[in-house]
Structure 1
Amino acid sequence: MSEGIRVAAVEDVEPGEALVLPQELTGTEQPISLFRDDDGTYYALDDTCSHEDASLAEGWVEAGEVECPLHATRFCLSTGEPMCLPATRPVATHRLEVRDGDVYLYPGTPHTA
């Protein structure tokens, strides 16, 4: 998958928002969400909170973190690590590339800073 999968146009996700990507598109067993931080940076994480079954895309995105809407665990968008309890396990990150106005996903390839 050297070219990546086109998952969105840059304008499809506003800063501070997220988009759940269809599993039919990503080819993954778990849902992946595309996040756009308030500074405009894009990130991709597994969508399901590692604490309980909640969609992280429904959470709040701000300052490099997403807050789970169920129990308020914040996850680092860059590493997937939980920043506070109740979650103790990270969620997987996925590499993204923005080129020519589109966002490309490399599912299963971790994001690197």
Structure 2
Amino acid sequence: MSATRVCSLSELEPDSARRVVVDGVPIAVVLDSAGEVHAIGDTCTHGDISLAEGFVEGDTIECWAHGSAFSLRSGRPLNLPAYEPVPVYAVQLDGDDVLIDPSVTKPAS
């Protein structure tokens, strides 16, 4: 599978997330305050809640329902009640286009 265009960089707002679905995989695309684009699994591992509806601060995203925060870099939960990580996907930028391949995940660090 190859990377799919999910949005343009200009469509993303700093410290916010946007939900996209690529090949049936829900993904939260996040532009952090430093201008870096991240792509993580959009479903909180504690409950069936969209992380894109949560809160972005620095390099974390917090689930609005129960407060679990996840690292945008590793997908690891930073606090309870979640204890399982979410997948992190490689992001490619091609000019203003944001591309993601949901079959390619970054190893948790």
Matched residue type, 1:51: H
Identity of aligned residues (%): 36
Larger mean CA deviation between 74-83 and 36-45 belongs to 36-45
Distance 1:88 1:60 in 2: 18
Partner residue of 1:89 out of 84, 87, 97: 84
Distance 1:52 1:18 in 2: 18
- 5+ residue gaps, structure 2, are none
More strand by share: 2
Indicate the SS of the match to 2:10. Answer: helix
- 5+ residue gaps, structure 1, are none
Partner residue of 2:23 out of 18, 24, 27: 27
TM-score when normalising by structure 1: 0.89
Q: Deviations for 1:1-50, whole angstroms, at most 9, x for unmatched residues? A: 34x111111011111111111x3xx103x411111111111111111100
How many angstroms does 1:54 deviate by?
Answer: 1.1
The residue correspondences of 1:1-113 to structure 2 (distance < 5 A) are 1-2=1-2, 4-21=3-20, 23=21, 26-28=22-24, 30-111=25-106
TM-score when normalising by structure 2: 0.92
Q: Is contact 2:15–2:58 with CA below 8 Å preserved after alignment? A: no
Distance 2:58 2:106 in 1: 17
Distance 2:47 2:6 in 1: 26
How many angstroms does 1:108 deviate by?
Answer: 2.2
Q: Deviations for 1:54-102, whole angstroms, at most 9, x for unmatched residues? A: 1100111111000110111110001100001110000111111112111
What's the C-alpha RMSD, in Å, of the aligned pairs? 1.5
Matched residue type, 1:53: D
Distance 2:32 2:80 in 1: 22
